[in-house]
Amino acid sequence: MRLLKNKKQVKPLPYPFYFYTVASVCLAGFFSSVYLAISHYRVYTDIVYESFCAISRSLNCDTVSQSSYSILLGVPVSVWGIVGYSFFLITIVFSWFSKNERRRVWTLLFVMAILFSGYSVVLAFISTYIIHSYCIICIFSYAVNLLLTYFTWMVRNRYGGEAVFKAVKLDVRFLLKWPKEIVSIILVYVIGSVAMVLFFPDYWEMAPPDRSIHMATGQTLDGHPWIGSENPDLTIIEFSDYRCFQCKKMHYYLRRIMQENPGKIRLIHRHFPMDRIINPIVNQPFHNGSAKLAMLSIFANHKNKFWEMNDALFDIPKLTEKIKLRRLSEKTGLSFEELKYVFRNGELWERLRKDIAAGLKHGLTGTPGFIINNDVYLGKIPAEILAEYITN
């Protein structure tokens, strides 16, 4: 006896359901890119900014923003995300005008979503194996791209299903029903993208104030370099690490304050490299090579070239572990032959250990650290402390 099973035909949901679902997912990606773009800007320009997802070393949006990989063709990756998602949204709108059973443009959208997801895989690889830190909002955008890929694949199969290359041709032919609108949109995006590559402000390129504008420098009685006022109203001792982005940001910020408000503040520089080869509180790879950079700085101080070396060391990309001594020699005017033997100098290593011991005595657990009137501030200095000494 044969049993017959009635198969119910699955009826597609109304088209607006698919349309608004994909549009909503794309909007989520668009707004996440807007947030990331704003956060990226503030990381480099707002001295007190810290994103909500700066949770740990391995889960930290700010660390990802500080990487050179957050820039593509001279434009933040998040800004490219805004461009991509907005173009995707505009393309979706045209699908609404396709009224037959074979809704158009969905294969084009599917191809775009695959490209988005492919770049997400590249960024995820970089975060895992190069930066060693993840951004929560970036992970959210990866999920958005995967959802866009899945939904566009599903919709194109439900309302068409031709072979990809054939479907792309049909989608393009469909869009060409509005030649003026399509050409205008493409021109706007192409011209806008080229303009961004050529003229986008490189606010992430932090540079020290021009030292040709006179600012007094010297050494303390125990040999630590200082810059600023010879008779200061406020003395700040900074413990710094040349691989630390926040150290560079705060150091240049304080230098600008001193330049704009002369005769009030003195900044004394000391070393606290978060390098496990010398710092006892670091028990895993972190800021590798920062101890050697500190050694070069200590050597330069003995040769009265500290500030030239200091600025050159802060200018080395954070993820670059190789130290190019010849280039440092050219930038600082120090002998290349002498620089080659710095890392074998036991006295310099001992001086570095004393700085680290002093930082530990003050209770430092990271960088930058600041000592003001025996009070310790980690990461940044409260604005109210500096306000009294800033008149501009």
Report yes or no: 149 and 116 within 8 Å, Cβ to Cβ: yes
Q: What is the overall mean pLDDT for the chain?
A: 88
Report, as an integer, the average pLDDT of 188-205.
93
Name the CATH superfamily housing domain 15-199. VKOR domain (1.20.1440.130)
DSSP state of 214: -
What does CATH list as the number for 216-387?
A: 3.40.30.10
Report, as an integer, the average pLDDT of 285-297.
90
Report, as an integer, the average pLDDT of 147-160.
90
Q: What is the pLDDT of residue 2?
A: 47
Whole-angstrom distance, CA of residue 156 vs CA of residue 164: 10
- Both tokens of 174, joined, read 């469909």
In the chain, the largest separation of any two C-alpha atoms, in whole Å, equals 106
Q: What is the pLDDT of residue 3?
A: 44
- Both tokens of 291, joined, read 């101890």
Helix (H, G, I), strand (E, B) or coil at 97: coil
Q: Which whole-number Å values give the CA distances from 70 to 66, 116, 363, in the listed order?
A: 7, 16, 33
What are the backbone dihedrals phi and psi of residue 292, each rounded to the nearest 5 degrees, phi first? Answer: -65, -35
Q: Amino acid identity of 382?
A: P
What are the backbone dihedrals phi and psi of residue 331, each rounded to the nearest 5 degrees, phi first? Answer: -75, -30
Q: Which whole-number Å values give the CA distances from 249 to 105, 205, 208, in the listed order?
A: 46, 11, 9
Strand partners of residue 239: 270, 369
Q: What is the pLDDT of residue 87?
A: 96
How does pLDDT run across 67-96, given as a tens digit for each residue? 888 999 999 999 999 999 999 999 999 988
Report, as an integer, the average pLDDT of 40-63.
80
Q: Amino acid identity of 24?
A: S
Q: What is the pLDDT of residue 9?
A: 56
Buried b (16+ CB within 10 A) or exposed e, 80-99: bbbbbbebbeebbebbeebe
Whole-angstrom distance, CA of residue 153 vs CA of residue 148: 8
Strand partners of residue 306: none
- Both tokens of 148, joined, read 């866009």
- Both tokens of 101, joined, read 């059973």
Report, as an integer, the average pLDDT of 311-320.
80
Higher-pLDDT residue of 345 and 46 is 345
Q: Is the pLDDT of residue 55 over 60?
A: yes
Q: Does the fold of domain 216-387 match that of domain 15-199? A: no
How does pLDDT run across 97-129, given as a tens digit for each residue? 877 667 889 999 999 999 999 999 999 999 898
Q: What is the pLDDT of residue 258?
A: 87
- Structural domain boundaries in the chain: 15-199, 216-387
